[in-house]
Structure 1
Amino acid sequence: MSVSDLPKVELHLHHEGAAPPDFIRQLAFEKKTDLSGIFDAKGGYVFEDFAHFLQTYEAATSVLHTPEDFARLTRAILEKSAANGVVYCESFLSPDFCGGGDVAAWREYLHAIQEAADKAEVDFGITLRGIVTPVRHFGPEQAKKTALCAAETAGDWIVGLGMGGDEGQGHQGDFAYAFDLGREAGLRLTTHAGEFGGPESVWEAIRDLNVERIGHGVRAIEDPALVKELVARQITLECCPGSNVVLGLYPDMPSHPIARLRDAGVKVTVSTDDPPFFHTTMRKEYDMLAEAFGWETEDFRALNATAIEAAFCDETTKTRVKKKLETN
């Protein structure tokens, strides 16, 4: 069996960023919205750099207007993820795109998303849980509204609070209030850092937000003391190698530090980030890593064991997912 056929756990997937281009084009057609500028000649998303990526991302999400749109999106995402062997996934969901940060509106969107996810679990065998995600470049005040949405809907399905967006805007500590609100509601915490922000952004995430996972985090490799700190604290990195290469952090997969981080004792996992934007899938990630580093079946089984232990879901769900991971 190829390593890409293994059942997989994915911890870092942006819900809107996983929208298939054909799905967005269909929605744009239905809503009579011209989004032709965000697609290339082959029909994929087009962007030049990270700032342009964020613009394309937000343009694509602009046709997602209603809870029903997000229900359809959820099914489309999970069908593709399941086809790539994903049996458990945690997705970043932003109330900013689902009601503008209003709690009552967010509840309606969340109900539609969860209902679609439950149906997809029956149909495709994939389990989804949600991580509510403030968008960093929308600012700390908007993040407070998003965190309140998270706190008001925390439970068995909304399991975490994270933060995405432009790492160049402000500092991690600017969002401490939002993260404290999530922590008090019993949510587990993660944040994007160590991608474009460098090692210092990871230090900030640890020191100022006290998170237990880091989205990306790979530039920690540039600071040996930080690597030791990640090991000591047992902080898990949600690595997205294909995304990092496409966005120019590293020239190619063999240059990516995931293997060096793992060898240093850091807990690493593998995810796709915004897969259609970066022309990747979980199968492709596994194949690229196997080719770049000579990783074999047991290496990927270990990655998935790390991922399910770091997952934010409850122990009953973890036990059920572990059985699926052991079936192949």
Structure 2
Amino acid sequence: MRDLARLPKAHLHLHFTGSMRVPTLVDMAAAYNVRLPEALVDNDPLRLPATERGWFRFQRLYDAARACVRSEADMRRLVDEAAADDAAEGSRRLEIQVDPTSYAPFVGGITPAVEIVIDAARVASAAHGIEVGVIVAASRMKHPLDARTLARLAARHAGDGVGDVVGFGLSNDERRGDTSQFGPAFDIARRAGLAAVPHGGELLGPDHIGEVMRELVPDRIGHGVRAAEDERVLAAIVERGVALEVNPGSNIGLGVYAEASEVPLRTLVDAGALVALGADDPLLFGSRLVDQYEIARTAHGFTDTELAALAASSIRASRASESTRTRLLAEVDAWLLAPDPADAVDTHPARGTVTIG
């Protein structure tokens, strides 16, 4: 089997604080004399029976980690390390998501917070040989007018270059807030050419996905995995070409599914959905990007050809420039066409390959 860390791919669902390395969190906590929950530093924070996992435990731990990010230097460190970790796993394109309101008090406001992330993304891209774009996200826990303010800020930095803001998201607990009230913020973002990338369809089922589709008109849906429960919703996603940012490690960590084999990845792919695998919050879920491809391989039986197709889907669903997409798709083809290590000991005739670029 080919090395999945060498498979070129795009990473479209990674949260800013949730990308943090455990040693980095420990360093920052020590610097600010913050006492961390033990679950955040044992490298397996959500290893619980499925019935004991859930959003509120996750949110409590996430908030504890976020409270340790208190300076421009901290923010730059997170972006740099996220880019380095992604590059080491074969990611050629990272679109990192940040809600700047969480860090604004420490750096002089939401505008400086976004500009720090943008600048850090450009520096990290050059340092690690990866393109980093930025997604500005509003929170369902806050007033919809706050979302409009963030959408206008995101629009001022819109573009498809390295470090530019490429999308506008809506995150936090899907069960909170009135989805329709956030529609005007997405209208602002869409007029600026930003991708609409709200969360939906992980904690709540296909009815919620339908609401997100109707009210926010997404280009991608963060998660969306429960579309597999309704053929009509899934067919609408496929027909409209809405990409799904599927995060198996997150689904398991939150108890949406008890085991990796229960994540309906095969159902989504076989239906024709454009699926981009993501890690969501490695700090909390204990798994990074390559681990999601390993789940597809080991729990769902995806062949190297199918894994290459997943990587190609992630690239196509990204907001990279057309030239970058073309180049990265060619790199995926090259990975697939390279000799399979198993052929070195295979006495059978060479197997055929399929170009997917």
Q: TM-score, normalised by structure 1?
A: 0.92
Task: Check whether the contact 1:173–1:209 (CA below 8 A) recurs between aligned residues.
Answer: yes
Deviation at 1:114, TM superposition (A): 3.0
Letter in 2 for 1:314: S
Letter in 2 for 1:138: K
Task: Measure the CA separation in 1 of the matches of 2:209 and 2:98.
Answer: 22
SS at 2:115's partner residue? helix
Deviation at 1:196, TM superposition (A): 0.6
Task: Measure the CA separation in 2 of the matches of 1:148 and 1:201.
Answer: 26
Segments of structure 1 that go 5 or more residues without pairing to the other structure are none
Deviation at 1:79, TM superposition (A): 1.4
Deviation at 1:326, TM superposition (A): 4.0
2:29 aligned with 1:28: yes
Task: Measure the CA separation in 2 of the matches of 1:136 and 1:122.
Answer: 34
- Compared CA separation, residues 15 and 324, structure 1 to 2 (3 A): farther
Which of the residues 246, 251, 261 maps onto 1:239?
A: 246
Q: Which residue of 2 aligns with 1:145?
A: 149
Deviation at 1:218, TM superposition (A): 0.9
Task: Measure the CA separation in 2 of the matches of 1:130 and 1:9.
Answer: 13
- Compared CA separation, residues 65 and 320, structure 1 to 2 (3 A): farther
Task: Check whether the contact 2:13–2:278 (CA below 8 A) recurs between aligned residues.
Answer: yes
Which of the residues 67, 75, 96 maps onto 1:70?
A: 75
2:118 aligned with 1:114: yes
How many residues get paired?
326
Q: Which residue of 1 aligns with 2:178?
A: 171
SS at 2:141's partner residue? helix
1:158-198 per-position Cα deviation (integer Å, ceiling 9, x unaligned): 01101110101023212111111111222111111110121
1:69-116 per-position Cα deviation (integer Å, ceiling 9, x unaligned): 1101111111112222211111111121231699x7334333332333
Task: Measure the CA separation in 2 of the matches of 1:218 and 1:100.
Answer: 35
2:61 aligned with 1:56: yes
Q: Which residue of 2 aligns with 1:99?
A: 104
Q: Which residue of 1 aligns with 2:346?
A: none
Task: Measure the CA separation in 2 of the matches of 1:140 and 1:197.
Answer: 20
Which of the residues 196, 200, 209 maps onto 2:207?
A: 200
SS at 1:96's partner residue? helix
Task: Measure the CA separation in 1 of the matches of 2:5 and 2:304.
Answer: 9
Deviation at 1:300, TM superposition (A): 1.3
Letter in 1 for 2:40: F
Task: Check whether the contact 1:66–1:109 (CA below 8 A) recurs between aligned residues.
Answer: no
Q: TM-score, normalised by structure 2?
A: 0.85
Deviation at 1:37, TM superposition (A): 5.0
Q: Percent of aligned pairs with the same residue?
A: 32
Deviation at 1:150, TM superposition (A): 1.1
Letter in 1 for 2:26: R
Task: Check whether the contact 1:101–1:149 (CA below 8 A) recurs between aligned residues.
Answer: no
Task: Measure the CA separation in 1 of the matches of 2:45 and 2:299.
Answer: 26
Task: Check whether the contact 1:91–1:129 (CA below 8 A) recurs between aligned residues.
Answer: yes
- Compared CA separation, residues 316 and 106, structure 1 to 2 (3 A): farther
2:273 aligned with 1:269: no
SS at 1:29's partner residue? helix
Task: Measure the CA separation in 2 of the matches of 1:144 and 1:196.
Answer: 25
Which of the residues 280, 285, 288 maps onto 1:278?
A: 285
Greater Rg over alpha carbons, structure = 2
Deviation at 1:321, TM superposition (A): 3.2
RMSD value over aligned CA atoms?
A: 2.1
Segments of structure 2 that go 5 or more residues without pairing to the other structure are 48-52, 336-357
Task: Measure the CA separation in 2 of the matches of 1:213 and 1:101.
Answer: 31
Q: Which residue of 2 aligns with 1:210?
A: 217
2:26 aligned with 1:19: no
Deviation at 1:143, TM superposition (A): 1.6
SS at 1:176's partner residue? helix
2:236 aligned with 1:229: yes
